[in-house]
């Protein structure tokens, strides 16, 4: 990912996301992904945890949500949400790239508003490819990039192919 932003910058971002999430609930965006109970999902670049609660609800008690970010305040926020909402199926991961997850154990990865900011997009995409199950889904949304640029960046190395373009997301399948 990119550089760790200041604590003040992170707090301002978290505040604007609360407003954004009120106007456009994250649950609506996640509907484009088609998650089901028991799925294991990685929110790569989770930020202040906007997707954590709806993800945990969608995958249920048998599922698992991994929330990865490079900012310690993001991980702290995920822990607070998990504790307050009693979400035992949420696991925070502090990292700049490597997930620490086993090979082919994840059903879907969210890469939302992160792709434009990655210092090492090829390395990150390789890591996401590694942790995704065969035919797993990489869901990408980035309002800083045009759709063609998203598709080109994700598919250029042959790790993923576009499977579905939703209203707000691009879903890619892991190529085996």
Confidence (pTM): 0.87
| First CA to last CA distance, the chain | 25
Contact of 40 with 105, CB cutoff 8 Å: yes
What's the pLDDT band for 4 if we cut at 50, 70, 90? Answer: low
What's the pLDDT band for 161 if we cut at 50, 70, 90? Answer: very high
Tokens of 4: 């760790």
pLDDT at 2: 52
What is the bridge-based pairing of β-strands 170-174 and 160-165? antiparallel
What is the bridge-based pairing of β-strands 90-94 and 64-69? parallel
Closest by Cα among 26, 59, 25 to 42:
59
Query: Which domains are seen in the chain, by residue range?
Result: 7-174 (3.40.50.150)
pLDDT tens digits along 7-65: 776 666 655 665 455 556 566 788 889 999 999 999 999 988 989 999 999 999 999 99
What's the pLDDT band for 157 if we cut at 50, 70, 90? Answer: very high
pLDDT at 62: 96
Whether 133 shows a pLDDT value over 90: the answer reads yes
pLDDT at 29: 83
Closest by Cα among 86, 82, 87 to 59:
87
Count of CB atoms situated within 10 Å of the CB of 126: 13
Write down the H helix ranges in 71-139.
Answer: 72-84, 121-131
pLDDT at 145: 93
What's the pLDDT band for 176 if we cut at 50, 70, 90? Answer: confident
Count of CB atoms situated within 10 Å of the CB of 96: 17
pLDDT tens digits along 100-130: 999 999 999 999 999 999 989 999 999 999 9
7 vs 77, more confident: 77
pLDDT at 5: 60
């Amino acid at each position: 990912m990119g550089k760790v932003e200041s604590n003040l910058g992170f707090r301002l971002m978290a505040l604007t996301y609360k407003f954004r999430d009120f106007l456009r609930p994250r649950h609506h965006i996640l509907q484009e992904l088609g998650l089901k109970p028991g799925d294991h999902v990685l929110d790569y670049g989770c930020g202040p945890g906007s997707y954590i609660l709806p993800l945990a609800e969608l995958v249920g008690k048998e599922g698992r949500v991994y929330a990865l970010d490079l900012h310690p305040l993001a991980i702290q926020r995920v822990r607070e949400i998990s504790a307050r909402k009693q979400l035992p199926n949420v696991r925070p991961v502090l990292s700049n790239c490597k997930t620490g997850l086993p090979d082919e154990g994840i059903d879907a990865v969210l890469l939302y508003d992160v792709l434009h900011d990655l210092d090492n997009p090829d390395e990150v995409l390789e890591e996401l490819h590694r942790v995704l199950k065969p035919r797993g889904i990489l869901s990408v949304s980035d309002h800083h990039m045009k759709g063609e640029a998203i598709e080109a960046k994700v598919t250029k190395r042959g790790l993923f192919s576009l499977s579905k373009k939703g209203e707000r997301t691009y879903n890619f399948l892991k190529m085996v």
